[in-house]
Amino acid sequence: MKGILEYDLNDMDDRMAHLRAIKSLDMALALWEIIYNAKKDMQIKIEKALEEDKNFTPHDSLDLIYDSIMEILKDHGVALDDLVI
């Protein structure tokens, strides 16, 4: 069996659908890393920050988590701005 996907790359919507299709493995790998590996890394970063900075707040923790997720996406070449309008 074969499945053939065809896109009109002159059409903005088709071009975005094509990019989503070719980036699907990268997105899946990034999500896998976020779900299975990132929690421990983020926990270590937060604990270290708490030890080093007594003024560290829950808001700072959210910033660390967000930055870690964005770094994982960047490492996998996933640019959300290119995939979602």
pLDDT on residue 24: 94
Chain mean pLDDT for the chain = 91
CA pair distance 83, 64, nearest whole angstrom: 24
Predicted model pTM: 0.77
User: What are the extents of the domains in the chain?
Assistant: 13-83
CA pair distance 61, 12, nearest whole angstrom: 38
Query: Is residue 85 over pLDDT 80?
Result: no
pLDDT band at 11 (very low <50, low <70, confident <90, very high): very high
9 or 56, higher pLDDT? 9
Q: State the average pLDDT over residues 74-85.
A: 89
The residue whose two tokens read 């701005």 is 81
What does the pLDDT look like over 26-51, one tens digit per residue? 999 999 999 988 888 888 888 888 88
In 10 A of CB 72, how many CB atoms?
Answer: 19
pLDDT on residue 54: 82
